[in-house]
Amino acid sequence: MSMIEKAKKYAIDCHEKTEHLYDGKPYVIHLQMVFDTANKFIYLVPEEQRENVLAACWVHDVIEDCRQTYNDVKKATNEEIAELAYALTNEKGRTRHERANDKYYEGIRQTPFAIFVKVCDRISNYEYSKKQGSKMTEVYEKEMGGFIEQLYDARYEEMFNYLLSL
């Protein structure tokens, strides 16, 4: 089984066990969207890193949403993927702003390829919310400037341009 397949199975199992949903639907829908978005832009990631980055797309929410730990993710996948999942885990907080604070964004910036995965996550969420006519569309639009200011990286300019074009 490839690392991507292992990560996919692990993430789906974790989200199912905690009955974690995405807009009332099985969470795998969101994870698949993030993975598909990553595949559109994977050419921006060095070839030797692609498998771990794509695997991280599957597990990016398991620490935050499924009561998994860094070590659980590391055991199920590998250290690099666990580092990405850890970097993409929100801080503790009562509001979106408290959870996605400066420390959170600093961790993403400091972890190789975490920006890539986070932008795939945001593109997926934003596209989905726009298609569904969700109130989250307005939230993402309001956050857009700060999100880009915190995470802009010229290596992923095409992704940021795509996000802005939605």
Binning pLDDT at 50, 70 and 90, where does residue 18 land?
A: very high
**What distance in Å separates the CA atoms of residue 138 and residue 121, rounded to the nearest whole number?**
17
Kindly tell me the burial class for residue 116, based on how many C-beta atoms sit within 10 Å of its own C-beta (0-12, 13-18, 19 or more).
buried
Measured in whole angstroms, the distance separating CA 121 from the mean position of its chain's CA atoms is: 4
Q: How far is CA 156 from CA 13, 28, 68, in A?
A: 31, 25, 29
Which pLDDT value is given to residue 126? 98
Which tokens sit at 115? 């920006």
Which pLDDT value is given to residue 154? 98
The label of the residue with tokens 């298609």 reads 131
Fold (topology level) of 3-165: Hypothetical protein af1432 (1.10.3210)
C-alpha angle with apex 95: 8 to 157, nearest 5 degrees?
55
**What distance in Å separates the CA atoms of residue 142 and residue 121, rounded to the nearest whole number?**
17
Q: How far is CA 113 from CA 14, 91, 92, 105, 108, in A?
A: 23, 19, 23, 13, 8
Tens of pLDDT, residues 20-62: 999 999 999 999 999 999 999 999 999 999 999 999 999 999 9
Whether this model's pTM surpasses 0.95: yes
Binning pLDDT at 50, 70 and 90, where does residue 161 land?
A: very high
Q: What percent of the chain has pLDDT over 90?
A: 100
Which tokens sit at 26? 């099985």
Tens of pLDDT, residues 88-140: 999 999 999 999 999 999 999 999 999 999 999 999 999 999 999 999 999 99
